[in-house]
Structure 1
């Protein structure tokens, strides 16, 4: 574990000694010596860590490793404090008078001398530690990093990560799934509790999800959610909503016996076949429900040998040998699988690890020997933890830090991957690779963790990229322990009133702000706040004044309404998120954050950005817009930010959305053309007068991947044809404006994967312009984007389209889909379209269609879909689920669903 710490520190010192050497004036020599000493130790750290971790170690190696980590911590803090003092000195020297400058110099001499003395002491200590290392006879490695995987990471197509969404459940659970599904959709009309019992890592949650997501369950129980953290509110809402409905409610990972006693009164036995599914590790929880309900208990058992072997091979050989084990590795592979004793999580983890290894007997025997007998102790969580730790130990040091970072999020938290990636970059975990952005490299890191089965995929985007991920409970236990051992992070939980130790990072999970008040370690680098009760203004002022080494501050969803001027003193700050807070204004001192890379203001109340932002030359992401979800969808539904002149100075900016163009005029738009690194741009309130200037600026953005253009009003006619050189990298195009005619350059953009047009009032069929785009996956034509009467999907068109939405097309009279058009379409949304009286001809050809939704369609249209008597039901009968949704009030929809398979067929399938 010292390897991770030391390697990260070396990565920090190298650019300081080269690119920013002037900041180290006066101590550069000492820092260079320290770096040299660290590098000389780096080659022995793999062996040192392994010996320190051994339980039988009595040689003092463990103490030596701990001392080394402690010195590394001191180095990190000392360098950061020195840089902070140097910068503060330069700032004051530039703006105050001579007498004030002399006063400041006198005041700063003492702390600078103190830090310089600290660095001298550290240098001497490093030399002593290095000398002492010789007595232990460490074995040297011929590379930097932690394993063979570190020097040979195989990067995969980002979209492949979506293949792992349900990978763990594809082997050995079919019988369990069918048994539970039969109980779920058939059986007694009385309320029945289905309990799935098994130890951690056996796949209880996966099995429950597989049953719940099955099309048979979805037909019987349409999805519905109640969003609240108030227990009594949830109970009352649930009781009222479920009174007259057949329902299924799933409670995952229940630990407390008393849980059922608290919740059962909300789940009425209305004799309509209600079902409650519970997953738990405790038999007591499963049996407790028998007192008041019919109960079906299903115990998960270890995988059968054949299933365990199949799962292992699919993981270990997922990228080669067609998922089959080569003959020379069969004997070793069987030994490894036998040691796992049928525990899916262990099989998946070790298989994922081996998938990154060379397929040689030597490499695999080394791994098998390191497993020892621990793999055979799967009934005990401690044994499983040691097994799973092997996957962590095999990670390259930079991926170790990334993996540990997931532990800063609460248990079972749905982690937004973009948020995580930006935090990794801010922490300095991500290394630059030629011809790739840091964000692209970080995405590869994430996919590597997914392929190693260390991170679970919760949700993928339409293009297959992972959008939401999570950390498995068992892995999280490992991560929490390692974070504490390394002083990497401390998670302040509800059970703690304060924390007096030392750590680099702090995360809170449901604590009072009083616990933060008692936190005295002023050297923390990162702060993530979750489920905090309050953040008073007085506390925030004190906090910003004291914790000046912060790099990451994430206040997302925090009860925050004020950012004090002292935020400008955070020289090292790289990531600041005020997303979904009540903050209305940014102080002018924001311009002093010269290392800031991400400023996230989404769903905050900030509407104006101070002109001082032009000083943030390292800013990469500026996200600032607010959506009023109480309003009907319109051009005013989403509001951007007002930016002053000077935005063109931000040469590193990659994402900028959304900007209100009616407050900066043509000059502001021309400055946008200077942002040559932009990947994503969103602009609001475009007018005829500013249109041509915007087109000229967009033509200079060669790296642009996402463009969102919105006009000032629905009647403002916008002509985007004047973009002479449209960005050839463009992947996503959103046009919310009156066009009358589509730009002729759209068919040239071969990389487009998503197109969404609104209020465009096109009279010509737009499908002709889109149908030959080779990579288009998602198309939406909505809100009078097309005012014609007919849409025709021609044979051979839209070869990769997966999602199609045709909403609020009031003039649409006829929709035809030729056989061979959109062969891969999975989701289709239509309506409201009051003139479309007949079910579109050709839906029967869409054999991959899984989700079909109609909104507020005419009465005769809906009647024709009746499964018993509808004249057009045959057109859609192959679709698993069809929704008919109706507007009730403002912006809300109720729905019905069409039951395709009858109960007789259900019984035949599952009895």
Structure 2
């Protein structure tokens, strides 16, 4: 068996992923005959013959052979899962929750499948080494994943060989070395089996879409997902003919189209009567037509955007709706929105209190049964909503609650939050104070943003027994001293302090933050030094210090005065302004997040670090508004490669 194992190991060519997959397979087979059967099983039919011409291609084929063994050893449903993952662009971080909603809309997943069952599916793929788990949520459930590029290539090849679930339109001239995606859509062999298309928009939107729209064989498409790579795309020209052509769509999603212009969504959207999933997240939609009320099977409607948008009062007709995301600046035409007809609703996000009737008992009870609820309001409207809500006898089981006060006046949230059983809480905007003691005893994640609290919030928050994630952002606290008291925050794992502009002193007493593993300190310009008590936080694995004054960062560096406080931390990242650097060298190219080369920019250095700066990932979108560009890099970097800069939402 040792000899057989060594022969199979040769096909892995040293790749850890392939070795992991092979190990998983061999662990399920106990006899030499089973090992021989697997070794001689010819899985190389998944590799095109032209990929075996030289030594490098042979190496690639060997790796895919091993991955193919793992793929075909999976249960049928998990193989289908992988095929559906392969349409995402390479290196994409995939949101599991949204992916499952798409699958449910397609009928690929049972509409009532819960989070636990979904988590088991992806854990099985992770255990086989075919996907990577990127993030877990506060419950320990899988939140985001990546599919390995090699696994993706294998799935695309397998899909072409028989299933034809997806066709990928990618017009890029320079494809990745082993990508099996065609250079153009016309290169794809027409097939009647394909019901899903993923289109990667790299150039003019019309040039990308009209070959698809004019293809009669594709009129029966059920799923169309667009992955945008342009900084200022305009879909106004193509959206109407697209809706007219593909009236059998169940899923229509435009991914990553921030600043994308749609204009007025055409009335034809109402003719897509089979539609279950519609997402225009991030796009500029000026008006949504009343015909959207015809989409009686719609399960997910995602219109999240910061642009002002007009939305019709037709929710009462969308009785199958489970997830509703409205624009942040939403104007409702007609009477106030009513939610009492949405008996299956699970998510209500960006609900404008001004345009909604939330005070009747039926609606109030409905709200406390949803999993996620976010409402924004002005202080003048808060009191009535607060009294009505707090007076209900309905027990509160919200999984995620977000309150956003848009006005300059403070609001009192103490009574409203009393007795809540929510796990995640986001408070944004000015509030009077936090409730005392354990105001939300089951809370695992808390975000305070622009709350401008006068009193140190740590005294209250340290008592929350289940709190694992705490984010204090943009003047959540406007005092100058903060203390994490003795034995406080027993279960806190992640702490983020961002833009606390008045904070000068932070103390961590012995026994505090005993479970902390990740800490971020960013833009706290008046903070003088890192707490001495951090040296007692033995579980701290990663410390990120970003955009802090030079006096602060130099203390934490090796040989600095504060280095002894953090020398036990395995990963310390110091991100600061690159001083006096200019992009003059033609061999160095600075690119936006979508790969567009940027014009020459200078980097003023630390002295101007407090001036308004622009994240490199947003330069292509700001264009002429950019007057200054500051680049933040690891201070230990000797060489900087400007290849791709991730856009941070």
* TM-score, length-scaled by structure 1: 0.54
Is structure 2 residue 85 aligned with structure 1 residue 394?
A: no
Distance 1:830 1:670, change over 3 A: farther
Question: Partner residue of 1:519?
Answer: 215
CA contact (8 A) 2:255 2:281 kept: yes
Distance 1:527 1:560, change over 3 A: farther
Question: Partner residue of 2:641?
Answer: none
Question: Partner residue of 1:340?
Answer: 9
Deviation at 1:544, TM superposition (A): 2.2
Question: Partner residue of 1:576?
Answer: 278
Question: Partner residue of 1:426?
Answer: 105
Which of 6, 11, 30 is 1:361 aligned to? 30
Is structure 2 residue 96 aligned with structure 1 residue 417?
A: yes
Distance 1:368 1:718, change over 3 A: farther
SS of the residue corresponding to residue 497 of structure 2 reads: strand
Is structure 2 residue 458 aligned with structure 1 residue 767?
A: yes
State the Cα deviation string for residues 707-728 of structure 1 (Å, max 9, x = none). 111113242222332445412x
CA contact (8 A) 2:228 2:254 kept: no
More strand by share: 2
State the Cα deviation string for residues 791-828 of structure 1 (Å, max 9, x = none). 32223222232322334445545422122221332443
Deviation at 1:764, TM superposition (A): 3.9
Is structure 2 residue 572 aligned with structure 1 residue 843?
A: no
Which of 882, 889, 898 is 2:611 aligned to? 889
Which of 477, 482, 485 is 2:153 aligned to? 477
SS of the residue corresponding to residue 791 of structure 1 reads: strand
Question: Partner residue of 1:708?
Answer: 402
Deviation at 1:557, TM superposition (A): 3.7
Q: Which has the larger radius of gyration?
A: 1
Cα RMSD over matched residues? 3.8
Distance 2:461 2:562 in 1: 28
CA contact (8 A) 1:641 1:658 kept: no
Distance 2:59 2:634 in 1: 46
Deviation at 1:653, TM superposition (A): 1.6
Is structure 2 residue 302 aligned with structure 1 residue 600?
A: yes
Distance 1:414 1:798, change over 3 A: same
SS of the residue corresponding to residue 583 of structure 1 reads: strand
CA contact (8 A) 2:337 2:357 kept: no
Question: Partner residue of 1:489?
Answer: 166
Distance 1:366 1:838, change over 3 A: closer
1:135-534 alignment to 2 at 5 Å? 331=1, 335-336=4-5, 338-341=7-10, 342-343=12-13, 344=15, 345-353=17-25, 357=28, 361=30, 366=34, 369-372=37-40, 374=42, 379=58, 381-382=60-61, 384-431=63-110, 437-458=113-134, 465-484=141-160, 485-494=162-171, 495-496=183-184, 498=186, 500-502=190-192, 503-510=194-201, 512-521=208-217, 522-531=219-228
More helix by share: 1
Distance 1:613 1:366 in 2: 58
CA contact (8 A) 1:600 1:622 kept: yes
**Greater relative contact order structure (CA < 8 Å, 6+ sep):** 1
Which of 335, 343, 351 is 1:659 aligned to? 351
Deviation at 1:573, TM superposition (A): 1.1
Question: Partner residue of 1:164?
Answer: none
Question: Partner residue of 2:415?
Answer: 721
- Gaps in structure 2 of 5+ consecutive residues: 45-51, 172-182, 202-206, 578-605, 615-629, 638-649
State the Cα deviation string for residues 400-448 of structure 1 (Å, max 9, x = none). 3221111222334343333322211212222367xxx545433432232
Distance 1:650 1:701, change over 3 A: farther
Distance 1:834 1:441 in 2: 45
Is structure 2 residue 249 aligned with structure 1 residue 550?
A: yes
Q: How many residue pairs align between the two structures? A: 546
Is structure 2 residue 216 aligned with structure 1 residue 540?
A: no
SS of the residue corresponding to residue 842 of structure 1 reads: helix
Distance 1:395 1:384, change over 3 A: same
